[in-house]
Chain A
């Protein structure tokens, strides 16, 4: 593979048509860079067990416990209790299996991962397995000494959520006084340690008009990257949809502001945006297609194709306590359910975009139409597309803060 080119002449960077050894077999259109491509699904080797390409990323939900109460949280309403959380040594085994399977990046998330006292051990195990380790944190529960210990344990990158550029509003959205100040301090500490920082900003009705100021805040904190994520309506966010949904005009202004700032910060800060899909024309290719690119392990070890998949009734999820990760990826019923295109109905089945957006999001299709195999209503070709306009115009409501209802019982052991 890699050795094949040593000694040969120099063509691979010269022509966009020339493909390196890693791309064998798969056709894909003109790529942005000649020697590189984003390993979007089309560039994956088709090898893998039983013809299924290997995953690239694993979201490790280490716990559902979190000090914040953000109403846009995509965790399920039925949060898992501490008593069932996987032990650190089980996570270590999962990371080793993941790396062998082909996973390149692990995202240590939750809930708030720092709520686990053994987070340092878990991070060390992930790095030892050869994974690129992302820490996704609210910033609460990570004093400087602990952040330093995590850096020594081998985390590669830190992502901090910030709820608004206005401190009071930010703390109100998080449901946690002082959160804004602590997050800003942690961001500074991350940069001082020399780690790359991503600031994640979830955008909704209460803060969308300050989207420019929020991006400027990320730049002032010296983030290498900012992620502007319009709320996706799953879990707690779905329960709070009427309180969170911005207006069409707000969304249009926000998109324009992001584009302006993307140009202004080119080369200095990467701006990635998750678009608001209720107002979109085509659906999002959720995680690049069901069971194609990533897996999600819940605090108790259930393995899901995406974090919201448990809302779909009748899916059988396997646990890392019972099965090897490679078996779960290749054979578990939940992963097989919507893999590829065979499950599709019209208008997806014969749509020229069927391997581009994979019919959109299965969870959203179920949540909005009652049928998981339906076309995501975000698609303008869906017979249910009209639903979205009505939903986007629901009257506003107060927040229902994310809370772990089981805290008092299960957490008290």
Chain B
């Protein structure tokens, strides 16, 4: 449930009724949920594509920091902010 803080061992996933898909007409990826549409920029999409319930947050951060040659601490802060915000809107769970 989203009320729990997002721990490193948590496995974030998109709940049923929330989908990430590509939209040619809108020129990018969109995250769709109940009465909600978000456009994902490339980084957000890269984060969300890793939210399958298979990876832990720690694994996601390592993977993203490697892929983008970025500071893991900064990646973690950004990912946690992004995912927590979505969880508050019931668009993500772990």
B-binding residues in A (CB < 8 A): 1-10, 12-14, 19-23, 32-39, 43-45, 47-48, 54, 56-57, 100-102, 104-105, 130, 132, 134, 156-157, 159, 194-196, 198, 224-225, 227, 266-270, 272
Contacts and interface: CB of A to CB of B under 8 A. Distances in A.
B27 A21 contact: yes
Contacts of B42: 1-6, 12, 20-21
Interface of B: 1-3, 15-19, 21-23, 25-47, 64-65, 67-71, 74-75, 78-79, 81-82, 85-90
Nearest to B29: A2
Contacts of B17: 156-157, 195-196, 224
Contact of A10 (B16, B23, B25, B75): B75
A288 to B, nearest CB: 12
B88 A39 contact: no
Contacts of B27: 1, 21-22, 45, 47
B43 A196 contact: no
A45 B41 contact: no
Contacts of A2: 22, 28-29, 42, 45
A22 B78 contact: no
A130 B25 contact: no
B23 A33 contact: no
Contacts of B88: 266-267
A36 B16 contact: no
Contacts, number: 169
| Interface SS majority for chain B | mixed
A289 B53 CA distance: 39
Contacts of A102: 23, 25-26
Contact of B90 (A43, A48, A225): A225
A196 B36 CA distance: 13
Interface centre among B3, B39, B67, B79 (most CB of A within 10 A): B39
A304 B52 CA distance: 39
Contacts of A14: 74, 78
B26 A44 contact: yes
B22 A13 contact: no
B41 A9 contact: no
B19 A132 contact: yes
B16 A195 contact: yes
A198 B1 CA distance: 18
Contacts of B71: 10
Contact of A36 (B18, B26, B38): B38
Interface centre among A8, A23, A132 (most CB of B within 10 A): A132
Contact of A35 (B69, B82, B87): B82
A10 B44 CA distance: 11
A47 B41 CA distance: 17
Nearest to B88: A267
Contacts of A104: 23, 26, 30, 32, 37
A139 B71 CA distance: 51
A268 B90 CA distance: 7
A10 B85 contact: no
A196 B39 contact: no
13 contacts: A10-B74, A22-B41, A34-B81, A35-B78, A36-B40, A36-B41, A36-B85, A45-B27, A47-B27, A100-B25, A102-B23, A195-B16, A268-B3
Contact of A56 (B18, B29, B34, B37): B37
A366 B88 CA distance: 39
B78 A13 contact: yes
B38 A10 contact: no
B7 to A, nearest CB: 16
Contacts of B15: 196
Nearest to B71: A10
Contacts of B43: 5, 10, 12-13, 20, 35
B88 to A, nearest CB: 5
Given A9-B70, A10-B75, A32 B25 contact: no
B82 A13 contact: yes
